[in-house]
Amino acid sequence: MTVQVGILGATGAVGQRLVQLLAPHDDFELAALTASSASAGELYRDAAKWRVDAPIPDHVAEMTVTETDPDAVPDDVDLLFSSLPSSVGAEVEPAFCEAGYVVSSNSSNARMADDVPLVIPEINAGHLDLLEVQREERGWDGALVKNPNCSTITFVPTLAALADAGYELERVHVSTLQAVSGAGYDGVSSMEIIDNAVPHIGGEEGKLETESRKLLGEFDGVSLTEHDVGVSASCNRIPTIDGHLENVWVEAAEELTPADAVDAMASYPSLDLPSSPETLIHVFDEPDRPQPRLDRTVGGGMAVAAGGFQESTFGLQYNCLAHNTIRGAAGASVLNGELLRSEGYL
Ligand SMILES: NC(=O)c1ccc[n+]([C@@H]2O[C@H](COP(=O)([O-])OP(=O)(O)OC[C@H]3O[C@@H](n4cnc5c(N)ncnc54)[C@H](OP(=O)(O)O)[C@@H]3O)[C@@H](O)[C@H]2O)c1
């Protein structure tokens, strides 16, 4: 049975990627598109300044955008993908959940709430059962699940592979080189970023530091205990369009050689959800890969790429990369939607 789905914030950078991924989806039928009051009432083709490098799917172009309000979304829609600014998400996502909709959200609001699962399906699918606690505590018929920040999604799968192979992670430092699409279409002006790098992305470092510990934590059926690894991050915006590249240093309790890390990451399993990449972590032998322009579409943009493994004074060092609006945002949300469906939450 096809599930009727909608997108909250359908006209933005992530919303457009969601349209691209959901329009041809075999299990989901796109039945609702919402945005701000400025776009409500317009055809999608007029409301969205389409910037995805493929045409707007014809049937979506002719859909009418509505207000982002539970009363404006048809009752037979079961699942909503949210790509709203976090301030808007904080206000409206709970209202949709209360009205009975299941929301798979990209927005940063509530990611760290005790009863909100923050999920990367290949890493911590079991955390989804936190929804039982959430429904009980909040009295919702609907539910709220989050995917992490795009730069968190890029490096946490590599840490999960090391932890899964038995390494006790003690300290991690990550330095990011983040693409401009991560800030949304109106995020960074060309005068600011061309011929430049900006060593500050407001609030980003804290997200990497806290979300990673939640994702790697243990859920015992009642509450979630975060992983005690210490994570420190420094975040930089650079003039690439898509694809966040990250330099990572990992200190483990045991000896962790580059060859051990390559084995752990290359063999870390993917899932068989419709949007899962065949291989989750694509390991490059070449020391100068991965690179954003060359490697952001590995696994259809749903895989993580890693390379440049070497020993350093501060433990193992390597680089990783993921497509920030696909694996890091829209694709992550769709994958969570597929997990919600396969686990019977719709
Ligand atoms: N870009 C990324 O790589 C990325 C990665 C991970 C997570 N995220 C998160 O995903 C969310 C969306 O990011 P984005 O880059 O797609 O932003 P964006 O390009 O600015 O798009 C924002 C969307 O929200 C709508 N919107 C704005 N204000 C609204 C309001 N008051 N009521 C209802 N709808 C409203 C906009 O509609 P109008 O067109 O009508 O203004 C648009 O559809 C953010 O929370 C962001 O932090 C982004």
Query: Catalytic positions, please?
Result: 150, 244
- What mean pLDDT comes out for the span 118-139? 97
- What mean pLDDT comes out for the span 286-310? 98
Give the model's confidence band at 322: pLDDT under 50 very low, under 70 low, under 90 confident, else very high.
very high
Residue 25 above 90 pLDDT? yes
Distance 131 CA to ligand 1 centre (A): 25
DSSP string, 7-62: EETTTSHHHHHHHHHHTT-SSEEEEEEEE-TTTTTSBHHHHS---SSSPPPHHHHT
For a mutational test of ligand 1's pocket, the pick from 14, 69, 71, i.e. the residue with the most ligand atoms closer than 8 A to its C-beta, is 14
Residue 1 above 90 pLDDT? no
- What mean pLDDT comes out for the span 16-30? 97
Residue 249 above 90 pLDDT? yes
Whether residue 250 contacts residue 162, with contact meaning beta carbons closer than 8 Å, is answered with yes
Residues 6 or more apart whose CB falls under 8 angstroms from that of 126 comprise: 219
Q: Residue written as tokens 């279409």?
A: 185
User: Residue 311's pLDDT is what?
Assistant: 97
Residue nearest to atom 19 of ligand 1 (CA): 12
**Residue range 149-169, pLDDT digits in tens:** 999 999 999 999 999 999 999
- Can you say how many angstroms the Cα of residue 226 is from the centroid of all Cα atoms in its chain? 19
pLDDT over 70, % of the chain:
100
1: its two tokens: 């049975």
pLDDT over 90, % of the chain:
97
- What mean pLDDT comes out for the span 274-303? 98
**Residue range 39-66, pLDDT digits in tens:** 999 999 999 999 898 999 999 999 999 9
Mean pLDDT of the chain: 97
User: Residue 215's pLDDT is what?
Assistant: 98
251: its two tokens: 């200190």
Residues flanking ligand 1, CB < 6 Å = 9-15, 35-36, 38-39, 68, 83-86, 88, 106-108, 149-150, 181-182, 184-186, 324-325, 328-329
For a mutational test of ligand 1's pocket, the pick from 19, 36, 37, 211, i.e. the residue with the most ligand atoms closer than 8 A to its C-beta, is 36
Distance 38 CA to ligand 1 centre (A): 13
Give the model's confidence band at 336: pLDDT under 50 very low, under 70 low, under 90 confident, else very high.
very high
Distance 264 CA to ligand 1 centre (A): 36
Give the model's confidence band at 111: pLDDT under 50 very low, under 70 low, under 90 confident, else very high.
very high
Residue nearest to atom 46 of ligand 1 (CA): 107
pTM for this structure? 0.97
